[in-house]
Structure 1
Amino acid sequence: MTAITAQPGRKFRAAEPESRRTFQPVRRGSRWTNHRERWATLSRKEANLRIFALERYQVTTRKAGQRFGAEGTISDGAVKLFRILCNMAVKHGGRVEPSVAWLASERVLNVPMKVIHKWKAQLQEHGFLDWDRRYVETGRQGVRGPQVAQTSNAYITKLPQKALDLVKAIRKGMGLDPEPRVVSEAELAVLSPAERRKADRLAEQVAKDKARLEAAFAAMNAKREAAETPPEVPD
């Protein structure tokens, strides 16, 4: 260790007490992870919808003469990263927790780790990705309790409303049902009985959600009209 020569007028920060120093590089805002974490499952149909929406939305972020990956846009590498995360969610029941080193490795994306962080930031900026920082206990006892260490993040893929609206507009222009999660009659004809029952439940849920929204809007409009109507003055 190299000693530092004291200089006149230079202020040194007092050493922090050992009772408060852990020397453990854990990012602020990290949460403890265990084997009881709950993950939201992702179906193959929903994953394909999210990937398709990102691919279509990516084109709208680039201005004339601008390259993909520039500020405010989404690069092709970010789309590849999103596809990998969605496929992992489908395969592992929604569990998506790869390390940045694994994603950047030669057998996956073969890029520097700083590029992975850049692609993650692009997806997060446009609402397609979010994550939770996590830590684990190392099993070693420290001064203030069990020592901990940073571990891989827990990733959540998303479908922002602006991208979903774009998909609906594309489907409407093709003469299809604008709602991408509703199964058409032609698709029902080739589904197995189990898949057909699942599609029927999905259609019922969509109908219930729409009815609930319509009822809520009707109640809001009625309340607004009642507030705007002046009270009647008796003769």
Structure 2
Amino acid sequence: LTENEAGELSTQAHERRNGSGGSGQTAFSLVMPPPAPRCPTPVRRQSHFKGRSEGRIWRPTTRKDVQAILKAAEIYNEAGLRQKGERSGPLGSVALDVLRLFVNLIDYRTGRLEPAISTIMDRLGRSRDTIVRALKNLRTHGFIDWLRRYEPTGNEGRGPQVQQASNAYRLSLPEKARQFLGRFGKATPLPDDLAAEQEARAADLAAYRKSLPLDELALFEAGDNSLGRALAALGNAVKKRESDKQTESLSHLYLKGGT
């Protein structure tokens, strides 16, 4: 408003207030503009713009380092289960599955690790609430940390301009779990029954690998990254070639039998 317009509004409000003989609240509201409608933004607090803040949480790492974190978490969970008589240990089986998935997804060169909750749900076949609880458990015990992020929606005009993006995660080895690893990151000797359990788990994992088609095996081994997707595409090509060969062989046998 200009000074003249503001003066006119003030004069009108004063005249109406005097003419009403009341408190003036009703008359004053007639000349005040309505409050601007609030436009909620679907972004959680302490979220950072995607692509600008990951340097504070991602660090280059190695396969040996992340495997040491996983090994320490497994032993830490087993030790807590034995001490307190818990059914699932301080971390829980789902949290360990999430950690194993992260070990396969992380980019060693940059430390990049940013799977969406929906991706974790699909890969592990678990509900959203179960995955969220597992992530919180891992964070509480110091095995992971994350950075909330948001990104533009690309909407033009009305509507939210930003939306929540996937978290940026970091794997870490808490001091209370480091004690379960020997020198140079090697695990301390395990009790016989725990060693047998881990051998059985390794056998199950090997059987699971054998059951996967080539494209899914590539993603499982290399992770959902550029290398994994390239290997998956190669696996699909191999599968198609083998399928074409089988179809061609069957057609040849059919024609030969018909003659």
TM-score normalized with structure 1 length:
0.57
* Alignment correspondent of 1:49: 68
5 Å matches for 1:104-119? Answer: 104-105=121-122, 108-119=123-134
2:47 is the alignment partner of 1:30: yes
Q: Is the 8 A contact 1:41 1:89 kept in 2?
A: no
DSSP 3-state at the match of 2:142? coil
Cα separation, 2, equivalents of 1:33 and 1:17:
32
The whole-number CA distance in structure 1 between the counterparts of 2:181 and 2:168 is 27
SS, match of residue 167 in structure 1: coil
Question: Residue 171 of structure 2 aligns with which residue?
Answer: 157
Asked whether the equivalents of residues 153 and 163 of structure 2 are also in contact (C-alpha less than 8 Å), the reply is: yes
Deviation at 1:33, TM superposition (A): 0.9
Instruction: Please tell me whether residue 74 in structure 1 is matched to residue 91 in structure 2.
Output: yes
Q: What whole-Å deviation, never above 9, does each CA across 1:118-140 have from its counterpart, x for those lacking one?
A: 10011011100111110001233
Residue 65 in structure 1 maps to residue 80 in structure 2: no
Matches within 5 A, 1:3-14: none
Q: What is the number of equivalent residue pairs in this alignment?
A: 152
Q: Offset of 1:61 from its aligned partner?
A: 2.0
8 Å CA contact retained: 2:80, 2:86: no
Partner of 2:154: 139
- Contact kept, 8 Å, 2:42 with 2:160, in 1: the verdict is no
SS of aligned partner of 1:154: strand
Say if 2:48 and 2:149, in contact at 8 Å, map to a contact too.
yes
Is the contact between residue 42 and residue 89 of structure 1 (CA under 8 Å) also seen in structure 2? Answer: no
Larger radius of gyration between Structure 1 and Structure 2: 2
| 2:153 aligned counterpart, secondary structure | strand
Q: Which has the higher helix share?
A: 2
Deviations along 1:18-53, one digit per CA (max 9) or x if unpaired, are 36x223211111111127843312211111111111
Find the aligned partners of 1:40 and 1:173 in 2 and give their Cα distance: 27
Runs of 4+ in 1 over 6 A off after TM superposition: none
Q: Percent identity?
A: 34
- Alpha-carbon distance, 1:171 to partner: 5.6
Shift of 1:155: 0.6
**What letter matches 2:94 in structure 1?**
G
**What is the aligned partner in structure 2 of residue 7 from structure 1?**
none
Other-structure match for 1:127: 142
Amino acid at match of 1:116: I
The separation in 1 between residues aligned to 2:51 and 2:134, in whole angstroms, is 27
TM-score by length of 2: 0.52
Structure 1 residue 88: Cα displacement: 1.5
Distance in 1 between the 2:141 and 2:188 partners? 24
Q: List alignment gaps of at least 5 residues for structure 1.
A: 1-15, 175-235
Taking a change above 3 Å as real, the CA distance of residues 173 and 157 of structure 1, as seen in their structure-2 partners, is closer
State how 1:206-221 maps to structure 2 within 5 Å.
none
Q: Is the contact made by 2:61 and 2:111 (CA closer than 8 Å) also made in structure 1?
A: yes
| Structure 1 stretch displaced more, 150-159 or 80-89 | 80-89
Give the 3 Å change call, closer, same or farther, for CA 81–17 of structure 1 in structure 2: farther
Deviation at 1:85, TM superposition (A): 1.1
Alpha carbons 2:118, 2:128 under 8 Å: kept: yes
Aligned to 1:228: none
In the TM superposition, what is the alpha-carbon distance from 1:86 to its structure 2 partner? 2.1
CA distance in 2, matches of 1:92, 1:37: 14
**Is residue 36 of structure 2 the alignment partner of residue 18 of structure 1?**
yes
Q: 2:110 aligns with which of 74, 93, 97?
A: 93
How far apart are 1:87 and its partner, in Å?
A: 2.1
Unaligned runs of 5+ in 2: 1-33, 190-259
